[in-house]
A and B are shown apart, each in its own frame.
Chain A
Amino acid sequence: MAYSDKVIDHYENPRNVGSLDPSEPDVGTALVGAPACGDVMKLQIKVNPSGVIEDAKFKTFGCGSAIASSSLATEWIKGMTIDQAMSVKNTHIVEELSLPPVKIHCSVLAEDAIKGAIADYRKKQEQKA
């Protein structure tokens, strides 16, 4: 498959690979996808008291565009408020990475991962309150 230069760049130099401690109250974690489908993304955010995503990390099992989609997602949401991050759409990722139609599900998974991590963070905040 001929990928865009941006996919190849994210694949070869992935941003924000790693893990945050999921037990921390200010960390939200999402694990989306399934091994049987060939892609699983773990995306984590660390949110400061003013609601800004201070740090984001990912680990992805998947093809080049799944890795690139999650790498791009973490790069984008770092520095956003969680409300801003909620508005990141898979179509933005498709556009930025010029993903071919057969790879659109990778961007959907990345959007799900962002939303999942925020939901996990919010749940923790509610439990704390």
Chain B
Amino acid sequence: MIADIGLIALTIAFIFTVYATFASAYGGWRGRWDLVESARNASLLAFPFLTVSVIVIVYSLYVLDFSLAYVYDVSSQAMSPFLRMAALWGGQQGSILFWAWMMAGFVAAVLLRKWDRDREMMPYFTATAMLTTAFFVGVVLFIANPFVRLWHIEGAAELTQALFQPANSMPYYPEDGGGLNPLLRHFGMIGHPPTTYLGFTGFVIPFSFAIAALITGQSRGDEWIRTTRRWTLVAWIFLSIGLILGGRWAYDVLGWGGFWGWDPVENAMLMPWLTGTAFLHSVMMTEKRGMMKRWNMVLIILTYSLALFGTFITRTGVISSVHAFTKSALGPAFFAFIGLTFIGSVTILYLRWDTLKSEHTLESFISRESAFVLQNMLFLAVTFVVFWGTIFPLISELVTGIKITVGPPYFQKATGPLFFVLVILMGIAPLLAWRKQAARTFGKAIWMPFIASLGIAGIWGYTHRMHPASILGLWLVTFSLSAILAEFWKGVQARRVTRGENPLTALFNLIGRNHRRYGGYIIHLSVVLIALGFIGDANFKLETQGTVSSGEALTIGDYQLQFEQLRGYPGSDGREIVEAVTTLSQDGEAIRALNPRRDYFTVQQQPVTVPGVYSTPGKDVYVLLVGWDDSGQSATFKIYINSFINWVWLGGLMMIVGTIIAAWSNPGQRETTYVLKPGVLTSHSLVQEG
């Protein structure tokens, strides 16, 4: 039986991961390199065995082997072959197997590439990373096993789920399965889980190296940071893509006209992103100046623990969420593992605290260094605010006996000002010199973008007379944007003058010569665009709802939506579709037809709302079919006007491009970043590093 092969492979993988954990730790401790080598081989082998397991599950989903309880749960005949395979991450068991598989893949890749370079750290890196992998593989094997079968015991009313045949039972083969939750049948949901998992699991690499560096005493240097920089970037960008795809999915499928609702599950993903972003920046201080070593350790431990915490609250329902997730027996296991990881890593950090001294002190408040300290503090503050809001229902229930849920207004009000300063900092921090920045030169670099943004925001505010917050938001975006673009402009100008290149070549060469720096700027630009989307959502959103008869129209802003008729027809994947035919006009002129729908999935008895959207760079008109009367003569619509929302998606794409550029090594150059030695640069401390 093919499913048995998957189960056997999974069991072998589990044995290998457990062996690798202990052998590498013991080998590292006793200096037994042979054991460490053996642990490495076991770790490398765990990955192909897990791959076999994954292939078996995907194959079973594809051929609809309904004797497996997991396949019966998430796959069905009506689903397309592609969706059936994507159902690997459509349920608890499959997604944790997928998670364990990716983590093992990451670790194997590191062990193949970095083995000789960082020898001293390798035993402990392997032990830490394999401990985590072993935990996840163990969860798949013992708690959420996708190879569990359906059995029918004689006389029993319900089916039994078990790995092996219970007494007096017959294997049971259902005709058809339940199928993937209709809400998950969207490209955002097809892409969101794998990217999120890649992000979460990817952070195991920097985390394990950090722990290895602490144990071996390598944490005094910055070798572990250089080794993990690209891995961190990979994890970070996948987490970012996961967040954006999740937002896109919410926008297209959940039908409340927004993309971010500060739901605990969303927050769970945002928190490791925040600390991870801080970590990505903070390590630069160690690389260049030998500072902030403690910060880095704290940030990576937090990032990794928050990723685990996020998984924990998503999978166990500890914190109420509008996302309905299934209950499971995972809770206690996860809880124990999070406790172990967090307490263990903090203890190791405490023991090594004194070795993590900074090699320099802050010399000036106006300097790149102080900007980095400030950004770390701000990121931590936002994380704390989000964390507090997320666990507040628990705290309030414990203390007062009354569960108080804080809604989006809390998060918006509390994080808004912090994000505001962060976006400003993003614009100006790259302009600051290391060590000390003369206020005069800084002023010279900043006054143009400042005046320009003030002008643009002022004119816009004068002509539109909207809420001051919206004007402030627009100023923020314009300022940060122009400060970053000014950097590109200066670089291009310099190349034009010194080398006589045309502007486009100059821009291309400028980015090509310093991938890290300009890739970083492109990411900053993308964040500004995403910020614009949030500002639009907070300040410029319009909404209305109404019931109209055929021929009548609803008005919102300059737009009118005229309802013509309803029509029903069967769709793919086993759904019945009711669609409204409407025409959207602006100031009386017809723009286009919109067809908001309600898809009813017959097997799951679940409806899904599909909005009709008219998208322009400035705004979306987003129409939902809320209900209708049985005669089909009238229908209820909800209409939103979402300003700037498309800049979020554009920003997401740009973020990917920027990250690829930043992670790409400069041709012909080994990854060297120069370290400022005390005394060398005192006379020309304003020189920016290149």
Query: Is this pair of chains taken from one and the same complex?
Result: no
Which residue numbers of B lie inside 8 Å of A, CB to CB?
A: none
Binding site for B on A (CB under 8 A): none
